[in-house]
Chain A
Amino acid sequence: MTLSLIEAVLLVFVLGCAVGAALLKDTLAAVMAFAAYSLGVSVLWLVLQAPDVGLTEAAVGAGIMTVLFLLALSNTASPDVDRLFESIGWQTAALVAGFVLLVGATVPALPAIGDPNSAVVGGEVTQYYLENAYDQTEVKNAVTAVLAAYRGFDTLGEGVVVFSAVVVTLSVLRREVVA
């Protein structure tokens, strides 16, 4: 597909917010840039026809994540802000430029965006889920069907990860839930 105006604006917005989060010296400003970034990304998911991912990103990425960052900031001290932006470290920039060129060199090998015959979209796994999801699970949303039925054990594993994260967070902070 060709680049639509809304997607071009979103990509520029998202990249701009990412650069802002990288270079703003004040941590609160960087967190705000990151929150705007998450919001832009969640709209980008909607444009790319992934509403489930967009909703999760908006609630979890832009919502919970920002709250976590603000909680962390309120429990620590901000660095002294003598100027708005940090100075650019040219050594690191050169290293990252090398990385970007290396990874960027692989892009031409990928299928064009929206190609209906690409390995992912046209592959038999995708077709199997789309054709059989409703008959086998009685769920019309194929994403939910795969998440909760076909790959239910993955989602159980995800639950284990979240549980471990809660346990680790509480023990690192030495908080007791049940006194």
Chain B
Amino acid sequence: MTLDLLTTHYNYYAVVLLLGIGLYTVIESRNLVKKVIGMNVFQTGIFLFFITLAYRAGGNPPVVTEGAGPYVSPLPHVLILTAIVVGVSLTAVALALVVRVYSEYGTLDEHTLEELYHD
């Protein structure tokens, strides 16, 4: 039963593991740059979920030509293209804030920053 699920749903289990790894990095890392990396890993997990949903066994990329079907679904691909670009924008803003925090406080360590904040 479980083994059956693993052979038909393996990508979804990879998605769940990636979400877990991303969440762990965001919560546990003391360094702010690593928190941003964790956020990106989490995001890519969601991407894998969408692209796997769009997949069709034996399907071709959705470039419509005579006799090339069947195709995988184009719609999740479009959503993820947009999400990748939005993700990069998010990362750029987050890293700009990280650089600014460093130039103001001279550290990227979460615990040191908390102490500085309370003083």
Chain A residues with CB under 8 Å of chain B are 1-3, 11, 14-15, 18-19, 21-22, 27, 30-31, 34, 37-38, 41, 44-45, 48-53, 56-57, 60-61, 64-65, 68-69, 71-73, 75-77, 79, 86, 88-89, 92-93, 95-97, 99-100, 103-104, 107-108, 110, 112-116, 118, 120-121, 123, 125-126, 129-130, 133-134, 140-143, 145-147, 151, 154-155, 158, 161-162, 164-166, 168-169, 172-173
Contacts and interface: CB of A to CB of B under 8 A. Distances in A.
Nearest to B90: A165
A103 B16 contact: yes
In the complex, the 6 A-B pairs of residues with the closest C-beta atoms, listed nearest first: A114-B57, A165-B89, A142-B74, A142-B62, A112-B8, A100-B20
A136 B22 CA distance: 41
B48 A64 contact: no
Which of A121, A154, A168, A173 gathers the greatest number of chain B CB atoms within 10 Å? A121
B10 A113 contact: yes
Contacts, number: 262
Interface of B: 5, 7-14, 16-25, 27-31, 33-34, 36-38, 40-41, 44, 47-48, 51-65, 69-78, 80-82, 84-93, 95-100, 102-103, 106-109
B79 to A, nearest CB: 9
Nearest to B41: A18
Nearest to A33: B37
Chain B, interface SS category: helix
Contacts of B62: 129-130, 141-143
A107 B12 CA distance: 7
Contact of A50 (B7, B38, B54): B54
Given A61-B87, A68-B91, A120-B76, 18 more contacts: A21-B25, A21-B34, A22-B34, A41-B48, A48-B51, A56-B85, A68-B92, A69-B37, A69-B91, A72-B33, A76-B108, A92-B24, A96-B24, A115-B57, A130-B74, A140-B64, A146-B75, A161-B89
* Chief secondary structure at chain A's binding surface: helix
A86 B20 CA distance: 17
Contacts of B92: 68, 165-166, 169
A129 B74 contact: yes
B61 A51 contact: yes
Given A50-B51, A56-B84, A95-B27, A140 B65 contact: yes
Given A45-B51, A120-B53, A61 B84 contact: yes
A115 B52 CA distance: 10
B37 A108 contact: no
A48 B55 contact: yes
A60 B78 contact: no
A76 B102 contact: yes
